[in-house]
Chain A
Amino acid sequence: MKDRSSYTPFLFAFLSLLLLALTVWVIWKDEIQLRPWKEYQQEYKELKASKLQSEYDEAVTLFQSSGDAQKLEALKARLEEADRIFQSKEVQEKYKGLAAQKDIVEASLDQNQKQLQEKRGKFLQVEYLYIRDQREQDKKTMQALQKEIGGLTENRDALLEQKSSIGEKIGDLTKEREALLVEIESLHKGLDEKLAAIESNEHMSEGIKQVHISDADKADRCITCHIGIESTYRLTDSQPLTPHPARFVYLENHPVSDFGCTFCHRGQGRATTSPDKAHGWVHHWTEPMLEGRMTQASCISCHEDTEYLRGAEFLAEGSGLIKKYGCYGCHMIPGYEGLREIGPVLAEVGSKVNYSWAVNWLQDPKNYYEAARMPKFYFSKGEAESIADYLFSMTGTTRHDTLYTDEEIDWDLVEKGKAIWGQSRCNICHVTNGQGGAHAAVHAPDLSKVGSKVSKEWLFKWIKDPKKYFPETKMPRYRFSDEEISALVEYIIGEYQDFDFEPDYEETVPIKAESIEKGKMLVEKYGCFGCHKLKGMEDMQNIAPQLLRAGATVAGGESSEKIGAELSSIGSKPLELLDFGKMKGKIPHSRESYVQQKLRAPRSYRDDLRMPDFRFTEEELKPLSAVLLGFTDASRPLRFIVPGHTRLDQQENEFGSHPLAGVFSQLAEDVKCLNCHKIKGHGYDFAPDLTIAGSKLQESWIREFLDQPDVIRPMLKQMPRFNLGKQLGMIQGNLKPLEIETVVNYFRTELVSGDIPATLPELEEAPEADPVELGRQLYDEKGCVACHQIGSEGGTVGPNITNVGGRLTAGFIFKYLEDPRKFSSDNVDPDYGFSERERVYLTRYLMSLKKGTNNAEISETRSEQ
């Protein structure tokens, strides 16, 4: 009892205060601290207000200075005058009188309408009775009613006329005023709209804003803070109020209201209480936001083809790298199934290369040349020798090196070989001493030191028929005679020697059996068969794609699955399933940093990892990791999916896996047309797209060109000559006559477009002058000469059109002039919006440009440097 009186009131007071404080804290927290967007929205509103205000002020100044203001004053004065007249006693009296008359007429009209309705109703009733009973009496009533209705209708028409005439009279009195009002309003409209914009901005509602994607049950509230993301105004450059970068690519095609934000950017779209939470940069949120170029990772979720997707260039870079380094050899990667192994067949490598070269290469391919694509496996010299022993044991029993440095050189032969080398344009694909290799996409090996690497016998066999050794090679088969090949081999081996090469096995040494065994084990362990075809291990790759299973790994050589981890959902793999191992704490604990570190130093997580080191640069890591992060198993609405070429082709059932058919396809495969040209979406971009070549090119020109490729492009883009004459130096033609027929036929029947007319349309009115001359005038007027060259005159941005009339068809030129970008989005020709007539004239003129027939001087720059 005593103690209660002493402390209870204080305790009670303390607890009450505590409760009060907590209540205040709760309110503060919920109203202010957990609503950071309030501040952003306020700021945005202010920025927008000041922008709108300044625009309004500008408009007002313009209004004053342009004389609109005086005009307005004048109109207002006239309005006042008109008002005065209208308000004057006599006019008012007249007006009121008319209005009263109008009221009376309207009342009678109402009355009339009611009567009419009643009579018509009655008529229908009687008509029904008459039809049923056929009574004479009813018929009479009907006639009477009919008459009455007629009278009423007449009456109504008269009343209506009266009404309109009164209306006209009233209109005469108010007409001027109304016209003035309309004029004043239209003059003021621009300013009023701007004022309304200011007003509506002031009343902009504050609050959480969201985009709800109902079919994915997504609610993205990002626009609560990023309130100006879709705006075309750039009010500020700082986040979160700045608009989306490159909105013409991203937002135009993916409006926020349809797509939200997190399909592409990830993060926690529902969060509103802090930027970190919203961006998913918090513990336990497994999808942190993707920023900048990395966001392109998400394109893969919906776009099946990203190779030429605008805005996904970073991704295309990444996919290019996957193809370049053949990641799919070891990993199961969606979209890369069934691609060929990137390494050469190793079945006969023992008869191809020097043993010392092979050991050196295996230890580090970059020792041989910097651009080597093969990764470093960190083999010791002993291990490298075992592998080399295993490979060499397939064709022989000894370690051996063959050198040609001491041989006598047949200079005549070398000279002939050099000429063939030049005409065959070997340097388009192959680099030698830092020269050539313009067509990098085919990854032809650097030949600078090839003389110390391969044997003459092998090189001869290789050039004679590359496919015999390596069926999937990209190297074309040139139709050389044996003599020519010998010359070429002599030239290559003699010219491209490596003088630092130190052979260890000029004296052959027998291979030991245990070393072979060890080498085989290493080959199986590290999965060399992922990139190279190896005898006895073919199944290991062939079966692989069918055994799709998450986390497929291989122990030893028994399994026939891919050796690397399956990557089809690496982008959504839970963080706790990623083994950071030794790197834990040293790199950020995120999926992105995991993937990048894996690419940077594949074996850094644990010691026993097998993935080799590709020595990616930081610039390569990022696009690669973007592609990998794009492989997720996240679901998205079906309506988002953009099917790829392959699927569309299959759906249309137009062409199968190969775009070409018949004899032509064999020929094209032999000389590798698709190495440089693109046909129906297949092949490379190095040389012109041939998909519509049949409609585009004149038959005679195709024939002539194939027979003897002309110089229409710079040196390293010229078409190679696949077949040289029987006698050296005598150029007889590129392809054999029969082959040329095949190509021409195929072009004419298959590679045509229905869009391109066979002939020029007839003009309705006859031209007033010679159309060719009119075309020439147009050519001068539009400044075509700035980019195109005729003879030696003109710019070099566009193609030289000296012989365009001998090369292209009239229909193509006509169609091309209509919309150059229709044929390739890369074309830079401006769209002049030519009329059909103009296009006909221009086409006529261009068709008149033929080699040797026009006035311009033609410089034949055929060079065989």
Chain B
Amino acid sequence: MKMLDTIKRSVLWRSIFRREYKDTPRNRALAIFGNIFMHLHPVKIRDSAVKLRYTWGMGGISLFSFIILTVTGFLLMFYYHPSVEKAFWDMKDLEFQVPYGIFLRNLHRWGAHFMVIVVWLHMFRVFMTGSYKSPRQFNWTIGVILLVLTMLLSFTGYLLPWDQLGLWAIVVGTNMAAGTPLLGFEGPFSEYLGITPYNDVRFAILGGSTVGGNALLRSYVWHCVVIPLVAVVLMAVHFWRVRKDGGISGPHSS
């Protein structure tokens, strides 16, 4: 008993557990203050916020699918080489040889489709309930950026199987980028900036003028590193902002 007390009084213990277990208002407040996740989450939730009919739970489901995609994506990275020679055959090996590989890949693929739909529905709900209005304008903007990031994740992930479907989707997609005004070589006014197929925005996306090994590698880096990191940071801001703006919006309080 005495030893336990000694441990609990030690600097190491107190640097990790910064409050007592005793249920006092102070300890409860400290629990919230000292925990990043609790900090992002509102302290109090209104009755209406948990009503499925009002919120549809779309924000939570979006987060949930993001977590599933992160976990499955992480596992897929163990079996995948972002190179022209190997990418497609790695897909095939996931299907035929890796235990539960096909399940893993399908979960990631369908989860990705699901997330895009859910994020759209989330936006739709927020719009229909007028939750974008003051004081939530800032968070709406963050949400819009998150929607764009979700779709970029979807787009960059499309190329990774290195099959015909993905290849041509990226060809079409990046050709659209080539039509960007000023920055795409096929876009209006680009000639005044001296834009050619070799220095335009499409070139930046593909790392070349056609879809090849560089495009695959770039897709991979954007898909697995950059966009998820940015999305995580923005999601943190998004959740924190919900709390700061007075919790999830509810039906007009009477």
Contacts and interface: CB of A to CB of B under 8 A. Distances in A.
Interface string A240-279: 0000000000000000000000000000101111000100
A7 B92 CA distance: 44
Nearest to B163: A284
B96 A26 contact: no
Contact of A26 (B85, B95, B100): B100
Contacts of A272: 96-97
Given A270-B97, A273-B95, A30 B103 contact: yes
Contacts of B85: 217
A221 interface: yes
B102 A270 contact: no
A30 B96 contact: no
A26 B103 contact: yes
Contacts of A270: 89, 92-93, 96-97
A142 interface: no
A208 interface: yes
Nearest to B53: A3
A34 B106 CA distance: 14
Interface in B82-102: 85-86, 89, 92-93, 95-97, 99-100, 102
B102 A219 contact: no
B102 A208 contact: no
B89 A219 contact: yes
Contacts of B96: 208, 221, 270-273, 277
B40 to A, nearest CB: 26
B102 A30 contact: yes
A268 B89 CA distance: 11
B99 A208 contact: no
A277 B86 CA distance: 20
B251 to A, nearest CB: 15
A296 B37 CA distance: 66
Contacts of B102: 30, 34, 273
Nearest to B85: A217
Interface string A215-244: 001010100000000000000000000000
Interface residues of B, number: 12
Contacts of B100: 26, 30
Nearest to A574: B164
Contacts of A271: 92, 95-96
A161 to B, nearest CB: 65
Nearest to B95: A273
Contacts of A30: 99-100, 102-103
Contacts of A29: 103
Interface in B76-128: 85-86, 89, 92-93, 95-97, 99-100, 102-103
Contacts of A26: 100, 103
- Do most interface residues of chain B lie in helix, strand or loop, or is the interface mixed? helix
Nearest to B92: A270
B55 to A, nearest CB: 14
Contact of B97 (A208, A217, A268): A208
A26 B86 CA distance: 27
B236 to A, nearest CB: 29
Nearest to A26: B103
Interface string A456-497: 000000000000000000000000000000000000000000
B224 to A, nearest CB: 23
A34 B85 CA distance: 26
B169 to A, nearest CB: 16
B200 to A, nearest CB: 31
A217 B95 CA distance: 17
A104 B95 CA distance: 68
Interface in B9-30: none
Nearest to A277: B96
A268 B97 CA distance: 13
Contacts of A273: 95-96, 102
A221 B96 CA distance: 10
A273 B85 CA distance: 23
A573 B40 CA distance: 58
Nearest to B91: A270
B56 to A, nearest CB: 15
Contacts of B89: 217, 219, 270
Contacts of B92: 268, 270-271
Contacts of A221: 96-97
Interface string A56-91: 000000000000000000000000000000000000
B206 to A, nearest CB: 24
A408 to B, nearest CB: 78
A217 B93 CA distance: 13
B60 to A, nearest CB: 15
Contacts of B95: 271, 273
B191 to A, nearest CB: 35
Nearest to A218: B89
A826 to B, nearest CB: 45
A221 B102 CA distance: 17
A273 B100 CA distance: 12
A273 B86 CA distance: 20
A222 to B, nearest CB: 12
Nearest to A27: B100
B124 to A, nearest CB: 24
Interface string A8-44: 0000000000000000001001100010000000000
Give the 4 A-B CB pairs with smallest separation, nearest first: A272-B96, A270-B92, A271-B96, A30-B100
Interface of A: 26, 29-30, 34, 208, 217, 219, 221, 268, 270-273, 277
8 contacts: A26-B100, A217-B86, A217-B89, A219-B93, A271-B92, A271-B96, A272-B97, A273-B96
Interface of B: 85-86, 89, 92-93, 95-97, 99-100, 102-103
Given A30-B103, A34-B102, A273-B96, 19 more contacts: A26-B103, A29-B103, A30-B99, A30-B100, A208-B96, A208-B97, A217-B86, A219-B93, A221-B96, A221-B97, A268-B92, A270-B89, A270-B92, A270-B96, A271-B92, A272-B96, A272-B97, A273-B95, A273-B102
